[in-house]
Structure 1
């Protein structure tokens, strides 16, 4: 595939930056940093455009916080100017990434996502007898900067653009020379692309029967347990040698008929269920908002609205009977 040239002038183009502002501010327009930026939009965009052209971006200011969704993660949120920059870059670079990825990779892609990945997992469980669930140890903190930059250099050309990409990569270190910040748009796309070679190794070299990957969560299918063990060993060697990544020792090999937990769901050949963490999350949020209503912190109308967002956790799963049982065990307050 020919390398794509992206010019800094195209990134700093006014229309491209305006689109990037709209994307970066979506759902966050009431936050102080967004309000501050948009109050003086023309001046701030001009300043950002100049920083892009003068190789002074990104600003590399991160805000750290923890989330529990469901397990604890340390998030490094870029400042709003850098989030605009990331969107401005990806407006132009995303189509290049999209052309390189194989069809069974589902993260950070249009018309893909978790639910299509789950549907494909179920189809593969029905079709192939054995699966391997690949578990990479500390994926984002262990992405090697120089390997990532080399991979990006195989897709893009232009020293000024590649230098901008390097500045973004080098703006964060979980350890010397490694790590991408969880929470940045560019991190998601870079991390997704980092394993494209592993996808192709599985499909084109090892000839696995089926394959699904959502970011670093990879499943592949084989005809026997012995074949699964051999191909897992080959993949382990590839990831260590080519990407400096380690697999956890408890990587799962099992019969497809027993199902697999994947991306928040318990996927069986005949059903898609919520996994334990999603069930706990649903119950926790429902009880939390009901208590907020009882305490007078939210109105009845607001409670009805948040019920919809809580219910969204259960969508795309066969959850009706479980939700009925949950309501019997934890009845909602009378209104």
Structure 2
């Protein structure tokens, strides 16, 4: 017997679903996430979705209103899920097709593999040739908007016996539509625009299809349009009354203006074809009228995402929510937070914090509050932050300054830093190195000559590079040992042994490329194990990515390594060394290779140790990160950088 749940949660099923979603290149939902942004982190997202579904924590976001023009000049209103919700729906749809297709009747033709409106047209021709001359040409009133949720779930449960599938269907049909007035929760109906809706629409009418099995009349149904064919006029009139009664038990009504009794002799139109006698003529589409403007209320709303952590609902808030729902009004933004959503800000990142302070004994001054001005006042520097109190710091206590983004240093401050040989390092708001400020005595020519000579000494280069990598592997191993002491994960233990094996190999005579190879292989083993000791359920780490970092853990690693590098860089400068002359690192393109060399051993004990603590102790939350940019890059935002 097939385990449908296992098949549904199989990563290969989600990957196949993703490929279908990606090919459609459809637009974003209410969260604003695009295909390209999702593609940049799809492996992580699929893992998160599968885990959330398995643990019953998956919750869809509201639907995004969308309109497309109709041929009559009106607008068809759709409501589309987010790309992530579409991915889950597509994954379940592939399973539901396997379960439901054998149960559907041959008289339904819409939204089914191997069937189309043309097969429906051919079926009508077949029944006509069999003597079925009289026709009930019918259409339902607002079919997708009228489906009763309770009946739909009961019909699905009758055919699909996996509770988790029913929970997903219930969640998708109950989720609201996000408008400018707030979230409108549905009382009935299916969202046109959701991947899962068509197959659910067929489930809802399957009993109707069954009612005409082996009947004296023949049914051909395409979604909410259908024809019922009979051999006599009397029969067709009797059937109309039966159809109306049957549909009323389902909460559905025949459209009075679009439903009629006719015959092949008189002719009728169905599915873009005109049937007259033995002729079937394909209708040519008329030029469409210019659509009138859609209602602005349904368009251009602010993006929203899941609240993190989930908002605790108070009794008062829940009562207000239920009252608004009973009044059939949109749930405004102060209340839709109760549903577990919050706005996704598209404003520029403001890296600031109430924790900004300076304590005696600090050496590095980090300037991160955007729009600040740094000026000189006697032998002190004063940091003026927009609409906040100033901070005064004795310059004698500052050994280096790191400037992030839009922060202005006045000329007197720059002059003072040059005179006092205080390096000033400029970075982008996200931490990308831009350049540095140093005075004319920065380089010791004698020392620099000695550096160049050492660079030509292959024995010195190999020995130094080897010791750097040995130290890095040792520290990486020690961190994993400590983190795995209580976990006792076999995969982490394997990585620990691999790091020790690589260290032993470094005792042999090696070329610089071989040394770098062990450093790279060791890093790969280390980071594979590093992801195993991340305990926070909302953080996942599979591999190291940068330029840009594609997930929160990589964002923290990149930011931490940047701070470490720039501190080492300033120390190198302060000692009069040329920062570009490294031993382990090096290439034709000028970079601070010596600083890269010297920071390697300190990555694990300083940066990685801190990051694991921040994540596992839940000091850092997923909401402390930016939404992926167009390249998929994720970065720490706001005061999280000051934690």
Normalising by the smaller structure, the TM-score range is 0.7 to 0.9
Residue 192 of structure 1 corresponds to 202
Residue 85 of structure 1 corresponds to 88
Local SS of the residue matching 2:287: helix
Residue 160 of structure 1 corresponds to 164
Distance 1:25 1:69, change over 3 A: farther
Residue 106 of structure 1 corresponds to 109
Which piece of structure 1 moves more, 166-175 or 178-187?
166-175
Residue 38 of structure 1 corresponds to 39
Local SS of the residue matching 1:177: coil
**Which has the greater radius of gyration?**
2
**Deviation per residue, 1:108-163 (Å, 9 max, x gap):** 11111111111212333343110001211110000000000000010111323322
Residue 6 of structure 1 corresponds to 4
Aligned length in residues:
276
Residues of 2 paired with 1:131 and 1:73: CA distance? Answer: 28
By how many angstroms is 1:201 displaced?
1.1
Structure 1, unpaired ranges of 5+: 285-335
Residues of 2 paired with 1:218 and 1:57: CA distance? Answer: 37
Local SS of the residue matching 2:136: strand
Residues of 2 paired with 1:135 and 1:87: CA distance? Answer: 28
Report the aligned-residue RMSD. 2.5
Matches within 5 A, 1:72-151: 72-126=75-129, 127-151=131-155
Local SS of the residue matching 2:216: coil
Residues of 2 paired with 1:41 and 1:189: CA distance? Answer: 26
Residues of 2 paired with 1:208 and 1:57: CA distance? Answer: 47
Residues of 1 paired with 2:124 and 2:76: CA distance? Answer: 26
**Deviation per residue, 1:291-324 (Å, 9 max, x gap):** xxxxxxxxxxxxxxxxxxxxxxxxxxxxxxxxxx
**Deviation per residue, 1:162-221 (Å, 9 max, x gap):** 2222112222488753110001121010001111111111234xx233221111111111
Residue 192 of structure 2 corresponds to 182
Q: Normalising to structure 1: TM-score of the pair?
A: 0.75
Distance 1:58 1:125, change over 3 A: farther
CA contact (8 A) 1:146 1:177 kept: no
Do residues 270 (structure 1) and 278 (structure 2) align?
A: yes
Q: Which has the higher helix share?
A: 1
Do residues 233 (structure 1) and 231 (structure 2) align?
A: no
Residues of 1 paired with 2:123 and 2:42: CA distance? Answer: 44
Residue 55 of structure 2 corresponds to 54
Residue 363 of structure 2 corresponds to none
Do residues 280 (structure 1) and 287 (structure 2) align?
A: yes
Residue 69 of structure 2 corresponds to 68
Residue 171 of structure 1 corresponds to 175
Do residues 212 (structure 1) and 220 (structure 2) align?
A: yes
The counterpart of 1:223, out of the listed 231, 234, 237, is 231
The counterpart of 1:202, out of the listed 204, 212, 230, is 212
Q: Normalising to structure 2: TM-score of the pair?
A: 0.41
Distance 1:157 1:272, change over 3 A: same
The counterpart of 1:17, out of the listed 14, 19, 25, is 14
Local SS of the residue matching 2:77: strand
Residues of 1 paired with 2:98 and 2:252: CA distance? Answer: 27
Residues of 2 paired with 1:167 and 1:144: CA distance? Answer: 15
Local SS of the residue matching 2:226: strand
Structure 2, unpaired ranges of 5+: 178-183, 291-643
Residue 28 of structure 1 corresponds to 25
Q: Which has the higher contact order (CA 8 A, sep 6+)?
A: 1
Residue 315 of structure 1 corresponds to none
By how many angstroms is 1:58 displaced?
4.2
Residues of 2 paired with 1:269 and 1:110: CA distance? Answer: 30
